[in-house]
Structure 1
């Protein structure tokens, strides 16, 4: 998985915001060429660290500042005695400003510079210095062919600042993108490095702030925060006089015929994540299985919404949707929940019925759509959601005045106040059924223990992803229930029950 080192900062920026930081640093007295030299030195150090026995470098350079970084890295490698070639995909005569100075530096070091052609041979370490963060539309020729050649070469690949073809703002592939083993990025982390398609192309991520003035960074606007062990909301420790009544009562509603396992996974997750009490409203035929699996839960066999009314007055948080179905039974229970003045987590079929406008979302809700559900809620295609996941998360939060967890690679948490958080942890083994049910129960338990909705969503997503990363080390065959003990352990490590 990418991002194996967690010494990265938490602030995430758009490409425009990073360009603004760059301009502020230059205005404050650091010449642009000096920043370019710092970026080249940072890249060179990362290359040597990653591939300590290498001695050959092929740089593919475009004609912007990204190419300037590449030419300077080539000059550094030449001075170190490496065999070096630059393949210029962008015509060197088009280089301007600092990038032109960098080209001159490479020429003065007698770096071999050739015009790239489709038959050009790539050797040693391949350095992508083609397009950078300024790319707006789809990758065009000859860059698309150059990227295809990099991806087919079978050699170690490093990218300068961002893999060429990856959108710095959204994490979308702009037609085609370099698949890097290592990406060295500068000044500010780009949001697009952490969501969407990024995990497939970024490789290990190394960050260097180029000795930027911390005050300039502190005062600059950001797009999002990256969730990490150092940037997480935490549950307060429990006093010795604690009792179950202090930590909420979660009611989980769902499990129509054929879907009983989903609501049981959610209930087990809520129980193991610290909710004081857990109740389950499900089909009567699922009651024996629920009591056998979770004897600590109170289970109500429910045939109609009327049976919920007394219970709704006693609980503090609702989790609605796992296994709910969209038949009459599920619709009636969801309608009852929607009229209850309680904090709620809506998942799965609750979201599908919300998208069909069969019900209105109450206040103080967290919704947990995957991209397909998000598309239905926004009246667009799944591809359109995935093309700009941050925009989709913000749009959902605004439309429903809710905290939104947009699931998927690089899960996003958006708040109605405009806040956005990104969780890039996880594991491919998590591509299995039931994990959303576990997440919904976990969110409900954190709400029940007194966390604010945005904080509960952030902590839940981080715990869930990291439990998956931990359990995913065993490979394929991960079961959703495998995450629950790992979540409990991680929660205790992050927020000990007792000081």
Structure 2
């Protein structure tokens, strides 16, 4: 089995609220770096980024009682030193603030005793200045577990009506730090400065839409405190996209077998084969029912075709399995099974036979996943490596544990991959890669495109090609997703309309 080497940098670790609070507490207790120092680093980092915008002149600071308010007050102090005025509103008053927030309020008053800052002790008193040009959200943070209520709701709704940009401290008020769920209402940030570790909820459910642009601000957290993290942000800043090395012979440059296609569904096999071939493989070998061979002869001149069965066979049947297994044994390589297979009962038996006796690294997609869902047990050969590529509906169909079906998509992918010893590339927003070790990787870009018909076949082809190059399953999945992203960005720079799947090949 190939060892997984998809190691994210610490800047791309995703923390849930519990881990974030644990790391913060351990840093204070064990490293003796006090909370006030951490708050100073966080606020000054955000302020320095804001100072890159030379147009700012007056900010409205919406503050609660916790440490998010303290971060906001640090920002106010730094910006006031650059003649950027501050109107500060304490939604619940300025008594009973957290100790570090109280200290920063006192410090702010000392730094600017005469002018530049205005304070309001509750929301009802607040009178918005006419000339403010940005809003700082320091109301509620990662500790939020119930719906936003009272004056906080009023402040969120007011901020969302303004045309001025909103900058959130750590996480937008009203966004659940773990799930990305909106807790009653949520502030719509243009920018979120997230401190010490990226918060998981920023990348799940409503998080990407409500958090705006996310800036990671490093804190003095020891790296070994972060090792309990098991979820990471996936992007090309740290994924090494290596070009394939040509071999002396086509069969030494990566070989991919594709079992795909049936009457009326030949396009899926064509898209997958062309996508894989475009990645630079030495050989792509399409195994197909003989009855549809003529279509591939015309459309796939560079692809080796291996038909099975008779001329009137238009889909795979269980009697084809022995011949297909013989073909698979001819060369080393990887296997892609599923695009356009169809859903005949005899095809289900065929898929079960192939998978139970095949030891090649395998990607199972589309109708291959449908066939798997019809079986009581997973026909996985010992030590074989699988990548499953379900969209949300296919994932739900595969899950037979009713409790797991009720879990979040991230929890479902993690548990399913771990329990069955497979890699899961779950299509959707975000894209999620789950590994047998229980690690998950989330995309930080829009992957909704892969829900369009045909695009999933292209993605499967790219993932399978990298598996055929000998890359580990999670790495192959990451390469496939990032190649899709790069192709989409390139296309959208030149066109206004949505691309066709063929534009990604």
- The aligned counterpart of 2:348 is 331
Counterpart check, 1:261 vs 2:267 = yes
Q: Distance in 1 between matches of 2:253 and 2:377?
A: 29
Distance 2:267 2:126 in 1: 56
Question: Does the CA-based 8 Å contact 2:235-2:444 persist in structure 1?
Answer: no
2:191 equivalent to 1:190? no
For the pair shown, the structure with the greater C-alpha radius of gyration is: 2
Aligned 8 A contact 1:226 1:423 in 2: yes
Measure, in 2, the Cα distance between the counterparts of 1:175 and 1:389. 21
Task: Calculate the aligned-residue CA RMSD, in Å.
Answer: 3.1
Following the alignment from structure 2 to structure 1, what is the Cα–Cα distance between the partners of residues 265 and 150? 50
Aligned to 1:314: 327
Larger deviation, residues 297-306 vs 442-451 = 297-306
* 1:160 and 2:154 correspond: no
Partners of 1:297 and 1:226 in 2: CA distance: 35
Deviation at 1:429, TM superposition (A): 5.7
* 1:246–1:449 CA contact under 8 A, matched in 2: no
- Cα 1:198/1:380, change in 2 over 3 Å: farther
**Unaligned 5+ residue runs, structure 1?**
1-5, 485-499
Asked if 1 retains the 8 angstrom alpha-carbon contact of 2:273 and 2:284, the reply is yes
Q: Which residue of 1 aligns with 2:368?
A: 350
Instruction: Determine the structure 2 residue equivalent to 1:244.
Output: 250
Q: Are 1:9 and 2:16 matched, yes or no?
A: no
Q: CA offsets, 1:283-324, max 9 Å, x none?
A: 556433323222112332663342343233333432222223
Residues in 2 aligned to 1:382 and 1:433: alpha-carbon distance in whole angstroms: 30
Q: Do 1:377 and 1:396's aligned partners in 2 also have CA atoms closer than 8 Å?
A: no
CA distance in 2, matches of 1:383, 1:359: 17
How far residue 117 of structure 1 moved from its aligned partner, in angstroms, is 4.4
Q: How many Å apart are 1:57 and its aligned residue? A: 0.5
Question: Which position in structure 1 is the counterpart of 2:3?
Answer: none
Quick check: 329-338 or 263-272, which moved more?
329-338
2 CA distance for matches of 1:381 and 1:87? 47
Q: What is aligned with 2:5? A: none
- Return the match for 2:179 from 167, 170, 188: 170
Structure-1 separation of matches of 2:197 and 2:422: 29
- 2:123 pairs with 109, 116, 122, which one? 116
Alignment match, 1:458: 478
Q: Contact between 1:84 and 1:112, CA under 8 Å: does it hold in 2?
A: yes
Counterpart in the other structure of 2:4: none
| Alpha-carbon separation, structure 2, partners of 1:145 and 1:321 | 52
Which of 14, 22, 40 is equivalent to 1:37?
Answer: 40
TM-score (norm 2): 0.84
* 1:233–1:458 Cα contact (<8 Å) kept: no
CA 1:466–1:190 in 2, change beyond 3 Å: closer, same or farther?
farther
Measured against aligned partners, the alpha-carbon deviations of 1:230-268 in whole angstroms (never above 9, x if no partner) come to 5325658526x5212224432323333333222211111
* TM-score of the pair, normalised by structure 1: 0.85
Gap regions ≥5 residues in structure 2: 1-7
Q: Give the 3 Å change call, closer, same or farther, for CA 324–147 of structure 1 in structure 2.
A: farther
State the Cα distance separating 1:159 from its structure 2 match: 0.9
Which residue is 1:496 aligned to? none
Correspondence 1:440 to 2:460: yes
Shift of 1:18: 2.4
